[in-house]
Amino acid sequence: MLKIEHIGIAVKNIEESNNLFAKLFACQPYKTEVVESEGVSTSFFQMGDSKIELLEATNPDSAIAKFIEKRGEGIHHIAFEVEDIYAEMKRLEAEGFQLINKEPKAGADNKLVCFLHPKGTNGVLIELCQERE
């Protein structure tokens, strides 16, 4: 793993949260995007070499909607940049980690992504991400 790529924060209202974090970070989000396949609206703030991703559910069946219903707003996942997502997934599965998705899928911010089940990572949802070419 190369670095922490971003920290994902589940929010109820992305517009209000964008305003809050813009004040906190003294900058505006550099990108907003809807990821239909995941049922989320996202926005990204650049923080040095890392990013903060805000995630708002766009439908009540999405993982973010369920997360907020169960736990409330807050940190949802930590994403790590990897050089080769396929090799990293194979390595982690061989180490005994449970992959939520068996193949990388298209994520926000031009990334291929895969998630590790939090049951095997001390309750932390881990995302692997690689820049799409």
Task: Specify the 3-state DSSP secondary structure of 122.
Answer: coil
Whether 133 shows a pLDDT value over 90: the answer reads no
Please give the DSSP secondary-structure letter assigned to residue 133: -
What's the whole-model pTM score? Answer: 0.93
pLDDT in tens, 40-99: 999 999 999 999 999 999 999 999 999 999 999 999 999 999 999 999 999 999 999 999
Distance CA 28, CA 49 (A): 16
For Cα atoms 33, 65, 22, give the angle at the middle one, nearest 5 degrees.
45
Q: Residue 74 in contact with residue 34, Cβ under 8 Å?
A: no
5: tokens are: 């790529």
